[in-house]
Amino acid sequence: MKMERRGVVDLENGKKEIFANASEIIQELYGKTASFRPGQYEAIEATMTRRRTLVVQRTGWGKSLVYFVCTKLMRQQQKGVTMVVSPLLVLMKNQIEAAEKLGLCCDVLNSTTKDRREEILTALEQDSLDLVFVTPETLFNQDVQNHMKNIRIGLFVIDEAHCISDWGHDFRLEYGRLKMIVQRLPPSVPILATTATANDRVVADLQTQLGNEVFVSRGPLTRDSLFIQVLNMPDRIRRYGWILENVPKLQGSGIIYCLTQRDCDYLADFLKQNGIEAAAYYARDGMAGERVNREIEESFQQNKLKAIVATIKLGMGYDKGDIAFVIHYQMPMNIVSYYQQIGRAGRNIDKAYVFLFHGKEDEEILNYFIHTAFPTQGEMGTIVDYIGAHDGVKEAQIAASMNIRNARIKKALSFLINDGFVRKDGAYYYLTPKKYVYDRNHYDAVTAIRQQEMEQMKLLTETRECYSRYIVSCLDDKEAKNCGRCANCLGRNLLPGEVSTEFVRQAEEYINRQTIPIEPRKRWAASGVTKASKIEFVNQPGFSISKYGDPGCGELVKQGKYSKQKRFCDELVGKSAQILKPFVRQNGISHICCVPSLRSDLVKDFSVRLANALNLGFADLLLKTEARQQKEMENGAHQCANAYQSFSVKDGSKIPRNILLVDDVVDSKWTLTVCGYKLMEAGAEKIYPFALADSSNREN
Amino acid sequence: MNQDANAIITLCSHICVGEGVCPLEPREYGELARKLIAVGKTPKDLFFFSEDDFAGVLGFAPEQTERVKRLLDRSASLNFELGQYQNMGIEAVTRADASYPVKLRKKLGGSCPPIFYCAGDLSLLNRESIGYVGSRNISVEDVEFTKRAVQKTVSLGYGVVSGGAKGIDTVSGIEALGNGSFSLEFLSDSLLKKLKQSSVIRNIQNGALLLLSIAKPDAGFQTGMAMMRNRYIYAQSSGTVVVRSELNKGGTWAGASENLKKGWCQTMCWSHPYPGNLALIQKGAAPIGDDWDGHVPEAAKSPAPPQMYEQVSMFD
């Protein structure tokens, strides 16, 4: 009894001391009159005493101040470093400046500081840093893990904590591994989880993961600076036109969100060609890709770009206070990501404009994302069986032994590793003692929820009530009031909903002369037939003139392919000839050769007509021997091997020097690569590939 | 997460040993545990101890306090690494866990290791098994005897417990698994290396194989470990068969001699005229021949298992 009472008194005294010290810290920073915003001190006290804390507060509320002050207090108590796990993109300049004002010594561990990694890790080992930001990818990197044993962690912060919950809108596999760490950490290491975007379901899930003792701080989510308008835009042409017409009218710079990388590339290119400074931003591979992204981030940060055209890769952790507008070129997957993306705007300015386009095709893309989010039972099972039958296999062996797309194999492997069914040691994969089961019920439940969330998003486009209120009420903020600023509250458009004819024309012109590059392949895929080595004869860069199925040419290609008479229309011949004319002249192309087919003369017929239109010779040089369709081949190893065995050059052919190699639809490029290779092997000098449409998937 | 277990791991694990970190040895941990019991505390309370508490409550000298604090400071980092192992199917089981090998706890008492790293179904430890030991270099004759012996003990419902090494260990384990029984292996080297074999994974997944080691999962072979695990085999088994021993040297000889002294279980020895075998029988091992029926003979004059240890707490 006595002991217990003493404990209570100690706790109360401790809290008083925390309050005094915390207040002193912010008054030193912001002046004598400074005080905490509602909820901030409570979160600090909880972190310092209750040790598991969840903060759900809107962007701009000051979540980082909570962990800065906690770090300061804990360092005064000689505790270890604060580790902030965050999916941040750019150096969080403002945040670091704020922390430094508090006298905290900070650094960042992510791919942008890779060259300084050893130095930062050494500083952590020597306890000379107070706080470090780290991305989950970097945190679980072997070189970082090797140093962990010498690092004392005093406070563990999980920024954007909704990523841990696979019920959330944005579950990330890398975050999944944090889940286990959170459950393992002893109570002496406090955990602070923060997010601006969690509905009741996600909050409940996070609570379970953090333990039931968790203190939850939750506040209103409405943002006072956002002016929202929703526009029905059925097609690409009108969307392009509207953006071109209206973006120049908007003050400052902003973000245009697209669902796919390809859309980012096109739209950014369109804007640039029409005099608007824009850049496409999405997950780019490798060091070179990261460099490109960093340059774009910087020029956007310095307001050298009017618009950054981005996938959701530009989202969390992106801290630019004066983003003046956000346009959604397509409807996002759900309200939570929408809230988060528009939340990038208007952080340090009074007014920011937010526009949402929606139309029928958006739903098709979103459905595709929803239904391909999880590996299938077949994919997982095949891979597990294969790994289990060997004492260690490489990814290339897996790809060569099964007809599954590489991206799908990678996805399945990361799920299997995350779920603890497979482990990776060096380049080799092994099964673990955990018996594999396909968690169909869970995947189905998550898929169903995502479907519902998309319906909720669709309702936003139809609602006549306040947009802002609708959005935050979907996030379970029940206190929300009408904003009085959105198009529905005002009862009028912020910017016109219709596009002027002039801008429609410009968009149409651009889309009609647009080409998609066919970059030549330089290495064979590893398979039973070919080795992963350099291709001796490489094609020249070529192009296709549409995206398969897209309005305009893409639609015409689809119609032609499935038409009864098996014929591509004259319009396609005309358009191709028009675009190819200068290309053919520039490159000294004398002949057209087509990719042969066993099923129809569709491509041959088209090629002959195209040769006539261009005044070129038609050379029927190639033979097809095997009849397995290339589109049945799901990955590079299989496509490459299949194509390699299928095509040959006809005996006794006279081979022209420079040839335009024509196919109808290009996807993996293996057919064009192999046909080009065989033609060059037979004596051709340069092969220029051309296709009517590109059907490859370059999704996000 | 059992936080007492977490504290034991933090204090004793050789995983994640940074500069200046010196994990507690089993004996040291045992002392600490007794002190904690005396003041009515459990290991997890250490997470919240102040410097004064270490001195005042446990009577620690400053350097002892410093050492334990340094160990506790690594808890977050350590849990990262353990989390990684957990995701590879390797668990750490401590004296604070109910699934800790109970037979070892009873027979070995305070000298039980605080932590085992393991892969497989721990409930296999509750079933009866026969230990098989012998040298790594064996003849066809040795193999044949081992197989027949295992077939007999398996038919009586016993599993096999061994050191998971080449030779007798492997032969007896495979024979048990092949006859529908189970195999327990106290390894003296890397769990991770063993887990690269697909057959090992398959047997674990089928619930028939359990691997245990006191070495951290990525460790290599250590002679000291090899000696320690002999004890675990004898203590875990209902009786252990020595197939082939050298005379006055080697791990098999040392292990069997120790068991004959301590009496953790009945030592049985193949009555083959190997000098080592004959000497062990001379020292009191029960001779078994080709006609052995698989039953563990009643101990004639082996000393009763010492009851020197009394279980006082889940974490001790």
Global pTM value? 0.82
Q: Is there a contact between A186 and B44 if contact means CB atoms under 8 Å apart?
A: yes
For residue A88, with 0-12 CB atoms within 10 Å meaning exposed, 13-18 middle and 19 or more buried, which class applies? Answer: buried
* Phi-psi label, residue A127: left if phi above 0, alpha if psi -120 to 50, beta otherwise: left
| Rounded distance between C-alpha atoms, residue B206 and residue B203, angstroms | 5
| Rounded distance between C-alpha atoms, residue B207 and residue A262, angstroms | 49
On whether any CB of chain A is under 8 Å from the CB of B84, the answer is yes
| Any domain includes A374 | no
| Rounded distance between C-alpha atoms, residue A489 and residue A473, angstroms | 16
**What six digits make up the tokens of A163?**
């990523």
Regarding whether A236 and A203 lie in a shared domain, the answer is no
CB-based contact A384:A375 (threshold 8 Å): no
| Rounded distance between C-alpha atoms, residue A245 and residue A249, angstroms | 8
Secondary structure (H, E, C), A252-282? CCEEEECCCHHHHHHHHHHHHHCCCCEEEEC
Nearest chain B residue to A429, by CA: B196
Within 8 A of B81 by CB-CB distance, chain A residues are: 145, 148-149
For residue B248, with 0-12 CB atoms within 10 Å meaning exposed, 13-18 middle and 19 or more buried, which class applies? Answer: exposed
| Any domain includes A377 | no
> Is the complex ipTM more than 0.90?
no
Taking the CA of residue B184 and the nearest CA in chain A, the distance in Å comes to 15
Regarding whether A213 and A235 lie in a shared domain, the answer is no
Please give the pLDDT value at position A208. Answer: 87
On whether any CB of chain B is under 8 Å from the CB of A14, the answer is no
Within 8 A of B69 by CB-CB distance, chain A residues are: none
Regarding whether A556 and A505 lie in a shared domain, the answer is no
Nearest chain B residue to A186, by CA: B3
| Rounded distance between C-alpha atoms, residue A566 and residue A603, angstroms | 9
- Among B201, B203, B209, pick the best mutation site for testing chain A contact (most A Cβ within 10 A): B201
Place of tokens 């904590």: A161
Regarding whether A432 and A347 lie in a shared domain, the answer is no
CB-based contact A662:A675 (threshold 8 Å): no
Q: Which residues of chain B have pLDDT under 50?
A: 301-302, 304, 306-312, 314
Within 8 A of B16 by CB-CB distance, chain A residues are: 148-149
CB-based contact A359:A289 (threshold 8 Å): no
Q: Is there a contact between A433 and B205 if contact means CB atoms under 8 Å apart?
A: yes
| Rounded distance between C-alpha atoms, residue A108 and residue A131, angstroms | 9
**What six digits make up the tokens of A381?**
């099972």
Residues 6+ apart with CB under 8 A from A251: A324
Q: Residue A82: helix, strand or coil by DSSP?
A: strand
CB-based contact A36:A219 (threshold 8 Å): no
Q: Is there a contact between B47 and A186 if contact means CB atoms under 8 Å apart?
A: yes
Q: In what order do the strands lie in the sheet with A215-218?
A: A106-109, A131-134, A81-85, A153-158, A191-195, A52-56, A215-218
Could you count the other beta carbons within 10 Å of the beta carbon of residue B221?
13
CB-based contact A216:A275 (threshold 8 Å): no
CB-based contact A623:A647 (threshold 8 Å): yes
| Rounded distance between C-alpha atoms, residue A378 and residue A368, angstroms | 18
Taking the CA of residue B218 and the nearest CA in chain A, the distance in Å comes to 11
| Any domain includes A102 | yes
Within 8 A of A187 by CB-CB distance, chain B residues are: 3, 44, 47-48
On whether any CB of chain B is under 8 Å from the CB of A378, the answer is no
Regarding whether A336 and A466 lie in a shared domain, the answer is yes
Q: Which residues of chain A have pLDDT under 50?
A: 1-5, 698-700
Regarding whether A256 and A292 lie in a shared domain, the answer is yes
On whether any CB of chain A is under 8 Å from the CB of B86, the answer is yes
Residue-wise DSSP of B98-165: TTS-HHHHHHHGGGS-SEEEEEE-GGGGGS-EEEEEE-SS--HHHHHHHHHHHHHHHHTT-EEEE---
What digits encode the pLDDT tens for the residues A436-485?
999 999 899 889 989 999 999 999 999 999 999 999 999 888 888 999 99
Q: In what order do the strands lie in the sheet with A307-310?
A: A226-232, A352-358, A325-328, A254-257, A307-310, A278-281
CB-based contact B72:B205 (threshold 8 Å): no
Regarding whether A507 and A527 lie in a shared domain, the answer is no
Regarding whether A546 and A502 lie in a shared domain, the answer is no
| Rounded distance between C-alpha atoms, residue A651 and residue A620, angstroms | 11
CATH of the domain at A472: 3.40.50.300
Regarding whether A558 and A489 lie in a shared domain, the answer is no
Regarding whether A239 and A102 lie in a shared domain, the answer is no
What digits encode the pLDDT tens for the residues B34-61?
999 999 999 999 988 888 899 988 999 9
| Any domain includes A620 | yes
Last residue of a domain, one of A487, A512, A537: A512
Q: Is there a contact between B201 and A181 if contact means CB atoms under 8 Å apart?
A: no
| Any domain includes A123 | yes
Regarding whether A213 and A104 lie in a shared domain, the answer is yes
CB-based contact A593:A662 (threshold 8 Å): yes
| Rounded distance between C-alpha atoms, residue A72 and residue A60, angstroms | 21
- Among B94, B198, B203, B211, pick the best mutation site for testing chain A contact (most A Cβ within 10 A): B198
From-to residues of CATH 3.40.50.450 in chain B: 119-288
Report residue A259: phi and psi, to 5°.
Answer: -85, -30
CB-based contact B258:B252 (threshold 8 Å): no
CATH of the domain at A391: 1.10.10.10
Give residues 168 to 187 of A whose Cβ lies within 8 Å of B. Answer: 177, 180-181, 183-187
Q: How many domains does chain A have?
A: 4
The angle that helices A63-76 and A40-49 make with each other, rounded to 10 degrees, is: 40
Please give the distance of CA B140 from its chain centroid, rounded to a whole number: 29
Q: Which helix (H) or strand (E) holds A326?
A: strand A325-328
Topology of the domain covering B119-288? Rossmann fold (3.40.50)
Regarding whether A417 and A508 lie in a shared domain, the answer is no
| Rounded distance between C-alpha atoms, residue A466 and residue A491, angstroms | 10
Q: Is there a contact between A186 and B18 if contact means CB atoms under 8 Å apart?
A: no
| Any domain includes A149 | yes
Q: Is there a contact between A181 and B196 if contact means CB atoms under 8 Å apart?
A: no
Range of the structural domain that residue A481 is part of: 226-367+447-512
| Any domain includes A378 | no
Please give the pLDDT value at position B309. Answer: 43
